[in-house]
Amino acid sequence: MQSLWLIIQLLICLCFGFILARKLPHWLESLAFKILPYFTYILLITIAIEFSQTLQNMSSPVQILSNALTLSIATSVGAFLCCYLLFKSIGYQPMQGKVSAELLVKSLINISYAFIALALGYGLAELFNHFDYTLHVSTWNLLLIFMFLIGLDLAYSPLDRSWLNWKIMLVPIGCIIGSLAGALFTATIIKDISLKDLIMLSQGYGFYSMTGIVVTELKNAELGSIALMNDLFREIIAILLMYSIGWRYPRSAISSAAATAMDVTLPMVKQACGNEFIPHAMVSGFVLSVLAPIVVSILAAI
């Protein structure tokens, strides 16, 4: 019952933000959109603070990173290949494009900010622990605020009805199925995590600021740590795929980018794949951003 209530809270905040868009005072909406790009880093700092307090009870932190990396590679490649096969089955051919090393470097720098935020949170926790003081933060309450802000952002997303055709929908479908296939493959390698939990972790779609908190609340801190690192790794792998072969297989690269295709990796889609694939990125990112908190919460609660 408690798990159901947590899921309902997430959905209420997301819908509340979506409904209140354009109805809030202009100054308040402007403030919300100014805060949103930085709110992820605030969440990551608080997540690291909470996780640092559980690391001492974990038998093998290195194993957590290893499991997360294995799962992220399997799910990212799975999404890429599944989307490729879906579009190939209906006769689509590889494209042509170009690569910008400058934008790739900028993107990797942006990813490094996430790791800096995690390091900062961990460092703060260790500093206070040194003085025998335990920091108390509520990542769940911050996540609820974040979901409200996401709802506002989704309401302003420039989605066009003409974009919602079955061919574009194959991109998020490829990500969902490919992520599931990646979890099944990972289960043959990782034996200390159940298949059900691997499937749950695979459905975060790169939404790292949400998945880690939800899994920690509904399961445990160790799985929450894997969820966080898995989605961070998925974002990095998506960017590498986008700039290595995404220009030739744009839909597959967008599928591997998962929920991040609508925001973090959207500039890369525009530059590496071309403006004609922005609708694919927007629709796929929108669908997966909405599904991620719902699917992960339900699977974690089962």
| pLDDT category of residue 99 using cuts at 50, 70 and 90 | low
DSSP code of residue 204: T
* Nearest Cα to Cα of residue 137 among 31, 58, 51: 51
How far, in Å, CA of 252 to CA of 248, rounded?
9
Q: What is the mean pLDDT of residues 112-129?
A: 85
Q: What is the CA radius of gyration of the chain?
A: 19
What average pLDDT does the chain have?
Answer: 82
Domain ranges of the chain: 2-301
pLDDT band at residue 59 under the 50/70/90 scheme: low
Q: What pLDDT score does 55 carry?
A: 64
The Cα–Cα gap between 301 and 299 comes to 5
How far apart (Å, rounded) are the C-alpha atoms in residues 272 and 242?
A: 7
Average pLDDT over residues 253-259: 92
Q: Could you give the CA distance from residue 123 to residue 103 in angstroms, rounded to a whole number?
A: 30
- pLDDT band at residue 56 under the 50/70/90 scheme: low
Range of lowest pLDDT (63-67, 101-105, 227-231): 101-105
pLDDT at 1: 45
Gap between the Cα atoms of 55 and 61, Å rounded = 7
The token duo for 148 is: 């409200």
Specify the pTM.
0.75
Closest Cα partner for 231 from 293, 156, 174, 277?
293
9-23, 65-79, 102-116, 128-142: lowest mean pLDDT where?
Answer: 102-116
